[in-house]
Amino acid sequence: MGEVVSNRQVVLKNSVTGFPKESDFEVTTSTICLKLPEGSKKGVLVKNLYLSCDPYMRVLMTNAHLYFPIDFYTPPQVLYGYGVGRVLESGDPKLKEGDFVWGITGWEEYSVIEDPQKLFKINHRHDVPLSYYTGILGMTGVTAYFGFYEVCCPKEGEYVFVSAASGAVGQLVGQFAKSLGCYVVGTAGTQQKIDLLKNKLGFDDAFNYKEESDLNSALKRYFPKGIDIYFENVGGKMLDAVLVNMREHGRIAVCGMISQYNLEKPEGVHNLLNIVLQRIRVQGFEVFDYYHRYSEFLDAVLPLIQARKLAYVEDMAEGLDAGPAALIGLFSGHNVGKQVVAVAPQSSAV
Amino acid sequence: MGEVVSNRQVVLKNSVTGFPKESDFEVTTSTICLKLPEGSKKGVLVKNLYLSCDPYMRVLMTNAHLYFPIDFYTPPQVLYGYGVGRVLESGDPKLKEGDFVWGITGWEEYSVIEDPQKLFKINHRHDVPLSYYTGILGMTGVTAYFGFYEVCCPKEGEYVFVSAASGAVGQLVGQFAKSLGCYVVGTAGTQQKIDLLKNKLGFDDAFNYKEESDLNSALKRYFPKGIDIYFENVGGKMLDAVLVNMREHGRIAVCGMISQYNLEKPEGVHNLLNIVLQRIRVQGFEVFDYYHRYSEFLDAVLPLIQARKLAYVEDMAEGLDAGPAALIGLFSGHNVGKQVVAVAPQSSAV
């Protein structure tokens, strides 16, 4: 028998309508035996260190009135999502005690992960924070990297627009685009984020969409010659304004539409005829399709981080109890950069 | 001096708001000297034989309140569009008197075409009607062929849905899809057209969208496993319903959106989030990008027509005076198949 310890957990109490509220969650204390359950053949027991707050999680909280063929959360249940953990015991021969992993885990102090095929083992480098595997070196980074280089088919000198530009994915896309010699403008919702985009993240320009009464005019100001590539994170009115500012053969990589997730009925987008007139490609994509190329991604991005050629902004909430507020904060733009929850923070030199 | 003859012309009198009406046009009689004007260096004088009624023409009739970077009609002016003509005199050494050509010409009996680069010379085969070069062997055919084979990236066994399916482009797309071994369902707006799709054009199934109160349910009935390829000709509510019925990695080739052309403000499309969730590619395209491959197209399609392996339905209006009604009829679905106006009909053995 293993030691029985308390296990703090974030529970989603109910399906969510509209903006998620802290009262949709409950942080409770359960207990867990620090030993793999009998009968668990390939399970892995992990101590969770960092949890990732990602906009897609809102989609899983919804009631299944939508038509999506995805696995919604089934409340009440412990929330799950991407995270970084340390292996305490492994039934999978590819992992051993002490290994660090990233992948889907529970929002709790300890989790038993029954399908370790979905975990990535971290070859831990002491010069990179472990929390980065919730973001720039994890799902977020893979999304930004292949979303930009593969889905957008970018060329040097093209005009690139990024929404939610200081967010987890946007900040990376902008830097990838700059490194390729594109002209990059980002949009975000506070002056602090605009400053960050222009001063720290190297965007050519940036604007606060909340201060623009007419998004179409704003885009015409920042892109007098039009947009070649739009990296779409928000949807709705921004997409409508972008559509009338796209250049011929432009590409819209649809990563997400955070402005729509809390609406009972998504906003209507009206300017789709421009897809024909400008011969635009609108391509939805998901990170799952690129995980088999994770090592290629790491080889490209890890050296950039180590050489400090890639900036990265994290917003760290401390402790599981702060988790619900951090997650909810994504939808009001409260986070500055990648929102992470430190469950049991580790210095990089563990 | 050449002979001066009368020249019947269809004039667009004003920009059009809402559905075009016959009163937006005037059929008048002018005169023309059957000789190239002094100073016309490379012009071509043609006798127009057949004119093509195409939905995109409505977009050009609009007031420039839209954001499109295209050449609108500038009323009052003689309407222009695709047509088939016979050369009476040519300043272009590549064309000579008696040649048949297709391309952009005026809606009138005789036209001087100043830019013959845009004309295609017809190597006239006596077993194919000349009117086919307004459609299956002209712009329409090139659109359907490359739109399906290149833009849709089709594979054998895939589920294909075509809107405006009995129309000029749709009827060809459906047959191309069938010949590749796809399962093809079309939609149209009358029982006559549904019968045509099922009995003459070889679609696996077809339904009248006007008889469906819930397009989403209708699509679920015809595509219980979802849609791989949607060939989009209509836009609006149909697109919204299709989006929630697309399969993973589905493709939507956007050829046109005829349901939207007469609206002051296009309808809102709400289900765009499915583009991400199902990783859909929405690709707008225009035929201009494929004209350089016209001979490849002809080599593929002409033998199919000659071998009667490709059916083709034309709706022929007689005489220029019938032109405005024929053109307007496109937007109420009055035409059955490709709408053509016979200005000076020729038997195939001219």
**pLDDT, tens only, A83-124:** 999 999 999 999 999 999 999 999 999 999 998 888 999 997
Helix, strand, coil % (nearest 5) of chain A?
A: 30, 30, 40
Answer yes or no: do A188 and A98 share one domain: no
Residue B37 confidence (pLDDT) above 50? yes
Instruction: Give the gyration radius of chain A's Cα atoms.
Output: 21
Residue A348 confidence (pLDDT) above 50? no
Number of A/B CB contacts below 8 angstroms equals: 116
Residues sharing a CB contact under 8 Å with residue B118, sequence separation 6 or more, in sequence order: B103, B104
Q: Quick one: pLDDT at residue A350?
A: 40
B-chain residue closest to A247, CA distance: B69
- A256 inside 8 A of chain B by CB: yes
B76 φ, ψ (degrees, to nearest 5) = -75, 130
Domain for residue B332, yes or no? yes
In angstroms, what separates the C-alpha of B246 from chain A's closest C-alpha? 10
d(CA B111, CA A311): 63
Is the distance from CB of B278 to CB of A59 less than 8 angstroms? no
**CATH number of the domain residue A96 falls in:** 3.90.180.10
Highest mean pLDDT: which of B56-65, B249-258, B338-347?
B249-258
Between the alpha carbon of residue A304 and those of residues A17, A312, A347, the distances in Å are: 41, 11, 21
Answer yes or no: do B158 and B235 share one domain: yes
Domain for residue A295, yes or no? no
d(CA A252, CA A344): 39
DSSP state of B123: -
Residues sharing a CB contact under 8 Å with residue A48, sequence separation 6 or more, in sequence order: A83, A84, A85, A105, A106, A107, A108, A109, A110, A111, A343, A344
Q: Which residues of B touch A274 (CB under 8 A)?
A: 67-68, 284
Q: Parallel, antiparallel, or unpaired: how do β-strands B77-78 and B4-12 relate?
A: antiparallel
d(CA A305, CA A300): 10
Closest CA to B174 of B164, B162, B157: B162
Range of the domain at A158: 139-288
At B77, list the tokens: 């002016």
Q: Which amino acid is at A34?
A: L
CB atoms within 10 A of CB A333: 16
Residues sharing a CB contact under 8 Å with residue B1, sequence separation 6 or more, in sequence order: B33, B35
Q: Parallel, antiparallel, or unpaired: how do β-strands B44-52 and B110-113 relate?
A: antiparallel
Q: How confident is the model at residue A127 (pLDDT cuts 50, 70, 90)?
A: confident
Q: Which residues of A touch B269 (CB under 8 A)?
A: 268-270, 272
Answer yes or no: do A89 and A102 share one domain: yes
Specify the number of domains making up chain A: 2
Domain for residue B159, yes or no? yes
d(CA A100, CA A91): 15
Domain for residue A28, yes or no? yes
Give the mean model confidence (pLDDT) for residues A19-36. 96
Q: What angle do CA B173, B174, B180 make, to 5 degrees?
A: 90
Q: What is the pLDDT of residues B134-186, one digit of tens each?
A: 999 999 999 999 999 999 999 999 999 999 999 999 999 999 999 999 999 99
Find where tokens 């999506």 sit: A68
d(CA B281, CA B286): 16
In this predicted complex, what is the ipTM?
A: 0.94
Between the alpha carbon of residue A55 and those of residues A13, A96, A268, B117, B273, the distances in Å are: 18, 32, 20, 52, 13
**CATH number of the domain residue B225 falls in:** 3.40.50.720
Is the distance from CB of A88 to CB of A46 less than 8 angstroms? yes
A-chain residue closest to B271, CA distance: A266
Asked if A68 and B277 come within 8 Å (Cβ–Cβ), the reply is yes
Answer yes or no: do A184 and A218 share one domain: yes
- A238 three-class SS: helix
Is the distance from CB of A168 to CB of A338 less than 8 angstroms? yes
In angstroms, what separates the C-alpha of B297 from chain A's closest C-alpha? 21
Q: What is the pLDDT of residues A151-210, one digit of tens each?
A: 999 999 999 999 999 999 999 999 999 999 999 999 999 999 999 999 999 999 999 999
Note which residues in 27-66 of chain A have CB less than 8 A from chain B. 59
Residue B41 confidence (pLDDT) above 90? no
Q: Quick one: pLDDT at residue B322?
A: 98
At B287, list the tokens: 């035929």
Answer yes or no: do A146 and A221 share one domain: yes
Q: How confident is the model at residue B39 (pLDDT cuts 50, 70, 90)?
A: confident
At B6, list the tokens: 């009368």
B-chain residue closest to A234, CA distance: B273
Domain for residue B299, yes or no? no
Distance of CA B120 to the CA centre of its chain: 17
What stretches of B126-259 adopt beta strand conformation (E)?
159-162, 183-188, 205-208, 227-232, 246-254
Q: Which residues of B touch A67 (CB under 8 A)?
A: 216, 244-245, 271, 274
Answer yes or no: do A184 and A108 share one domain: no
Q: How far apart are the first and last CA of chain B?
A: 27
Asked if A67 and B286 come within 8 Å (Cβ–Cβ), the reply is no
- H helix intervals, B93-236: 139-146, 170-179, 191-195, 215-222
Q: How confident is the model at residue A2 (pLDDT cuts 50, 70, 90)?
A: confident
Answer yes or no: do B92 and B155 share one domain: no
Distance of CA B168 to the CA centre of its chain: 5
A-chain residue closest to B217, CA distance: A67
In angstroms, what separates the C-alpha of A278 from chain B's closest C-alpha? 7
Is the distance from CB of A150 to CB of A173 less than 8 angstroms? no
Answer yes or no: do B74 and B11 share one domain: yes
Residue A349 confidence (pLDDT) above 50? no
Q: What is the pLDDT of residues A256-277, one digit of tens each?
A: 999 999 998 999 999 999 999 9
Asked if A284 and B277 come within 8 Å (Cβ–Cβ), the reply is yes
- A262 inside 8 A of chain B by CB: no
Answer yes or no: do A163 and A248 share one domain: yes
Answer yes or no: do B250 and B181 share one domain: yes
Q: Which residues of A touch B284 (CB under 8 A)?
A: 274-281
Domain for residue A34, yes or no? yes
Answer yes or no: do B129 and B143 share one domain: no
* Beta bridge pairs of residue B112: B45
Residue B117 confidence (pLDDT) above 90? no
Q: Which residues of B touch A239 (CB under 8 A)?
A: 272
Domain for residue A156, yes or no? yes
Answer yes or no: do B146 and B273 share one domain: yes
Q: Quick one: pLDDT at residue A67?
A: 55
d(CA B56, CA B262): 11
d(CA A260, CA A269): 11
In angstroms, what separates the C-alpha of A3 from chain B's closest C-alpha? 42
At B324, list the tokens: 């405005």
* Beta bridge pairs of residue A106: A80
Instruction: Point out the domain boundary residue: B273, B288, B303.
Output: B288
Domain for residue B173, yes or no? yes
Residue A65 confidence (pLDDT) above 80? no
- B277 inside 8 A of chain A by CB: yes
